[in-house]
Amino acid sequence: MADSNNNNTLKIGLAGFGNVGAGVYKNLLKNGALLRERTGQNLIIHRIVVRDPDKPRDIDLPAGIVSTRLDDLVKDDEIDIVIELIGGTDYAFDLVKSALENGKTVITGNKALLAEHGKELFAIADREKTPIYFEAAVAGGIPIIKTVQESLVGNSIESMAGIINGTSNYILGRMSDAGLAYEEALNEAQQLGYAEADPALDVNGWDAAHKAIILASLSYGSWVRSEDIFVEGIEKISLADIRVASDLGYTIKLLAIIRLDTESGNIEVRVQPSLIPKNHILASVNGVFNAIFVRGDIVGETLFYGSGAGQDPTSSSVISDLADAAAHLGSGAASRTGFVPHGLYGHPLPIDESISQYYLRLSVDDQPGVLARISGILGEHHIGISSMIQPEEHCEGAASIFLMLYFAPFGTMKKAVAQIAELDCIQDEPILMRVESL
């Protein structure tokens, strides 16, 4: 990208030139004139920091633009904006902190960094009067951060329910549509590039959890700690769960739930595979797409849908942040630092106090009296059974039981399931999932 001596030029330091970093560079070249018309600024990539400068790349970079030292971004007085796309939390934290302390506007797509260190970083940004932009940290190309911060600023956010991990959504969809087992669907996702060689953060729920922490913190005015949210992944879901849920009129999705408890003022934040009705709009979100269903007290129900990852959608969000940063830097006007704390809400709701309906799968000895023992334990905990399925086909000596259970606190439900699991007639670990009415 050619340099310029124009007074309306903003120089950018880009940390990381992987899939998204290359997309940012490519799309700035493509739409540079458009951005100049809309922002009044020339946006110039001045320096790119990479781990391996000799790695073959599809994009030819100008001589002298590449470095291997993050300090080259922070110490260069010509650089106005630092874009952090290196991932992880250690080096990324040091870079963002140092950039802010040196008066450089920061743009990041690092959800884990903000989920773990957002409170500290935004305090530094506020102290230095230097903003952090982070649209790309949640849901790829969906402009959900700006929506919460700007379009819904006059609303109390009553709830959010989101499919915000495309890998898990793809796997569950292939299990449902093609009848693939979990491992088969995961292998297919890896072959297509939808899942990493190590897919742990996607399938164990923590990728979605990091995004949920950011959304909850923006919505409710204080940073939610990772230890205060409940996270489960999709690794234990079987084809039997998919089929039974479908027969009952549900589909299974990995959902991030963010909800205001109107009685206590506390907030509920959790990520779990959940059964949702087939007629709900989130049930139709397939493949690697993301969707976030938001309910505000004034606007009512809104849905945001689009690509949750990928080079172009994510780089689109980074470039959107660049345009915002350029507008503020060009005008000289004060900019918000990226997070506005407020004290209108209480603490995170303890997960054991959250209430929902439930789905329970049990593998049991095929003998009389088993169901009576199970229902007896549920009754002791005041948990009612709304329906039961026991398929006729089963292995010799073993049977599967699928129960739909009425509303109960999660803590009570866990105690009942733990007690059931200790029965000598239970063969495998019980599988418990929430049933969300949304």
Q: Is the separation of the CB atoms in 390 and 402 below 8 Å? A: yes
**Confidence band of 333 (pLDDT split at 50, 70, 90):** low
CA distance 331 to 327: 6
Residue 346 located in a structural domain: no
- Identify whether residues 222 and 260 lie together within a single domain: yes
Distance of CA 34 to the CA centre of its chain: 31
Give the CA-trace dihedral at 157, 163, 165, 171, to 10 degrees.
Answer: 170
Q: Is the separation of the CB atoms in 361 and 240 below 8 Å? A: yes
- Identify whether residues 109 and 158 lie together within a single domain: no
Q: Residue 167: in which H helix or E strand, if any? A: helix 166-178
User: Could you tell me the CA-to-CA distances from 246 to 12, 48, 251 in Å, in that order?
Assistant: 50, 49, 6
- Identify whether residues 152 and 275 lie together within a single domain: yes
Residue percentage of the chain with pLDDT more than 70: 96
* pLDDT above 70 (res 335): no
- Identify whether residues 166 and 234 lie together within a single domain: yes
Residue 344 located in a structural domain: no
- Identify whether residues 164 and 290 lie together within a single domain: yes
Give the mean pLDDT of 298-311. 93
Three-state DSSP at 219 gives helix
Q: What is the pLDDT of residue 270?
A: 97
Residue 348 located in a structural domain: no
Q: What is the pLDDT of residue 1?
A: 43
Residue 336 located in a structural domain: no
Q: What is the pLDDT of residue 306?
A: 94
- Identify whether residues 198 and 294 lie together within a single domain: yes
The one-letter amino acid code at 369 reads G
Q: Is the separation of the CB atoms in 395 and 367 below 8 Å? A: no
Q: Residue 76: in which H helix or E strand, if any? A: none
Q: What is the pLDDT of residue 344?
A: 76
Q: Is the separation of the CB atoms in 268 and 258 below 8 Å? A: yes
Q: Is the separation of the CB atoms in 400 and 361 below 8 Å? A: yes
- Identify whether residues 185 and 132 lie together within a single domain: no
CA distance 386 to 358: 10
Render pLDDT for 78-89 as a digit per residue (tens, 0 to 9): 999 999 999 999
Helices (H), 302-384: 311-331, 370-380
What contacts 88, CB < 8 A, 6 or more positions away?
110, 112, 113
Active site amino acids: 211
Give the mean pLDDT of 414-435. 97
- Identify whether residues 77 and 32 lie together within a single domain: yes
Residue 228 located in a structural domain: yes
**Confidence band of 12 (pLDDT split at 50, 70, 90):** very high
Residue 2 located in a structural domain: no
**Confidence band of 5 (pLDDT split at 50, 70, 90):** very low
Mean pLDDT taken over the chain:
92
- Identify whether residues 255 and 154 lie together within a single domain: yes
Q: What is the pLDDT of residue 2?
A: 38
- Identify whether residues 276 and 376 lie together within a single domain: no
Number of domains in the chain: 3
Q: What is the pLDDT of residue 4?
A: 42
Give the mean pLDDT of 170-191. 96
Phi, psi for residue 345 in degrees, rounded to 5: -125, 160
Where a domain ends, among 299, 331, 363? Answer: 331
- Identify whether residues 185 and 290 lie together within a single domain: yes
Q: What is the pLDDT of residue 398?
A: 87
Q: Is the separation of the CB atoms in 83 and 326 below 8 Å? A: no
Give the mean pLDDT of 275-302. 96
Residue 342 located in a structural domain: no
The CATH number linked to 385 is 3.30.70.260
Give the range of the structural domain holding residue 209, as residue numbers without chain letter: 144-307
Q: What is the pLDDT of residue 382?
A: 97
Residue 341 located in a structural domain: no
Q: Tell me whether residue 149 is exposed, middle or buried, using C-beta atoms within 10 angstroms of its C-beta: 0 to 12, 13 to 18, 19 or more.
A: middle
Q: What is the pLDDT of residue 308?
A: 86
Structure tokens at 34: 């458009």
User: Could you tell me the CA-to-CA distances from 372 to 2, 376, 398 in Å, in that order?
Assistant: 76, 6, 16
The CATH number linked to 66 is 3.40.50.720
Give the mean pLDDT of 294-306. 96
β-strand 267-277 against 431-435: which pairing, if any? parallel
The CATH number linked to 217 is 3.30.360.10
Q: Is the separation of the CB atoms in 213 and 224 below 8 Å? A: yes
C-alpha closest to that of 83 among 123, 141, 133: 133
- Identify whether residues 302 and 390 lie together within a single domain: no
